[in-house]
Structure 1
Amino acid sequence: MIITISLFAGLADRIGTSSLKFSCKDTEMNAGRLKRLLAEAYPDASSLIAVSFVAVNQEYALDYQPISEQDEVALIPPVSGGEPMSEDKRAHESADGLFVITEDELSVEAVTAKVITANHGATLTFTGTTREMTGEQRTVHLEYEAYVPMALSKLRQIGAEIGEQWPGTLCAISHRIGRVDIAEASVVIAVSSPHRAGCYEASRYAIERLKQIVPIWKKESWEDGAEWKGHGLGPWDPSAPGILT
């Protein structure tokens, strides 16, 4: 059996490739066994493999989920990365245009305009920007990368969860990848709702859920080095259910 696996960030760095064709003697495979075999084959990366999640066909997989040679498989570490988009495809978006991943600068006004409607009395926009100082450490810039197709799928999932929990509420999210300089926006989340209470709640839910399940992370660069960073929200668990389940 030969399984093609997409790798990201520090995991890709340690193994030496972002696309691995992994050959094994097994005729049947599941996500848990794949991680164990990879850890044995790449002992220098075993600790990172152990805390990574397997994604099968753009969904996070439990250990017992079967895997075939035809599946789209990715191994996503707690800090992620990916390949830059080509010049002719700098942005990806959902069919309805509400969810976007792009290398281009973000427009707060453009994202907000997507959710403003005549029947909604409240609109909120959250903008996440690059902070220069964290304590005494100075950040030079950030680099965001993503497993793009799965990231878009998870952004759409967040929108669906919000629509179910707060009926009638609209959500649009745009997230940058690539280099994001100091004070530039990396994410814009716009939410509109008939009433302000639901709008506040849905906006907070969107950013917290994004940090929990969407495979987009950052590399923080300083004057004297760089490091892949996690979300800083405690244990990262993209398989965790939302408030709806």
Structure 2
Amino acid sequence: MKITVKFFAGIAESTGKRVHELHFDHSPNVKDIINSLISEFPQAAEMIKRSMVSVNHDYAKPEQNITETDEVALIPPVSGGEEPLYEVTTEPLSADRLIAKVSNPYAGAILTFVGTVREFTHGKRTVYLEYEAYPEMAIKKMEEIANEIKEKWPDTKVAMSHRVGKLAIEEISVIIAVASPHREAGFEAGRYAIERLKQIVPVWKKEIWEDGEEWIGHQEGPWKPQTEK
């Protein structure tokens, strides 16, 4: 079976082609198309992995089957480049934005962990929180965590964002998104990510209560070990 694939932008430039023919001895699906293109164009492999496949002018899921009469195109990442997977920011956080960062044709599950500001802790009422971080080191440590996850759960992609500054009750302080081929790995990797973030990422928070305030490090961090979680 012959499948014709159209290339655009960076992929066309990297492969030196605008159109490419793939040959299969069976009816392929979208994932087969991606794997074949990665094999034939190793110099463009990373960009191909981050691309989507369109079939008859609609985005296709990895398991969608393709026929010879379908119009198939490889859609590279848009808007001038990929957003960073790890960040410390003063801007409000969005789960949808992180999901878009990790979404890829190999993912059968995408899970998110969202940490929010709670009002009561051990009976004390929090008015608001102030977060502070060592951004450059925090981002480096997030990347280390993601690399650990890739070793434990191959083909898993992770994005992490932590907000700093003044946060009100119920605002989001941290989001972790995990994309994996299977949901079991996604659940395990997501839990691993937040626990490791607490252990090694240098982020502090000041809890402002009705009757006082205190700077607190993460529960398991070397800066303020605590036995109670």
> Would you say same fold, with TM above 0.5?
yes
2:126 partner letter:
T
* 1:231 maps onto 2:218 in alignment: yes
Among 88, 98, 103, which residue is 2:85 paired with? Answer: 98
**Residue equivalent to 1:112:** 99
**Residue equivalent to 1:139:** 126
- CA drift at 1:187: 0.1
User: For the Cα contact (< 8 Å) 2:83–2:101, is it kept in 1?
Assistant: no
Secondary structure in 2 matching 1:114? helix
Output aligned runs, 1:40-119, within 5 Å: 97-119=84-106
- Consecutive unaligned residues of structure 2, counting only runs of 5 or more, are 1-81, 224-229
Counterpart Cα distance in 2 of 1:204 and 1:148: 22
Per-residue CA shift, 1:154-179, capped at 9, x if unaligned?
01111111111111000000000111
2:198 partner letter:
K
Counterpart Cα distance in 2 of 1:162 and 1:96: 20
Output aligned runs, 1:150-229, within 5 Å: 150-229=137-216
Output aligned runs, 1:114-133, within 5 Å: 114-133=101-120
2:130 partner letter:
E
Per-residue CA shift, 1:178-233, capped at 9, x if unaligned?
11110000000000100111111100000000000011111100112110113234
1:134 partner letter:
T
Secondary structure in 1 matching 2:173? strand
Give TM-score scaled by structure 2 length: 0.59
Counterpart Cα distance in 2 of 1:98 and 1:136: 36
- Consecutive unaligned residues of structure 1, counting only runs of 5 or more, are 1-94, 239-245
Identity of aligned residues (%): 55
Secondary structure in 1 matching 2:102? coil
- CA drift at 1:96: 5.6
Counterpart Cα distance in 2 of 1:155 and 1:206: 9
Instruction: Select the structure of larger CA radius of gyration.
Output: 2
Following superposition, which runs of at least 4 residues in structure 1 exceed 6 angstroms of deviation?
A: none
Per-residue CA shift, 1:77-109, capped at 9, x if unaligned?
xxxxxxxxxxxxxxxxxx861001000100111
Give TM-score scaled by structure 1 length: 0.56
Counterpart Cα distance in 1 of 2:116 and 2:98: 15
**Residue equivalent to 2:29:** none
Counterpart Cα distance in 2 of 1:96 and 1:153: 16
- CA drift at 1:136: 2.3
1:101 partner letter:
V
Give RMSD over aligned pairs: 1.5
Counterpart Cα distance in 2 of 1:153 and 1:230: 18
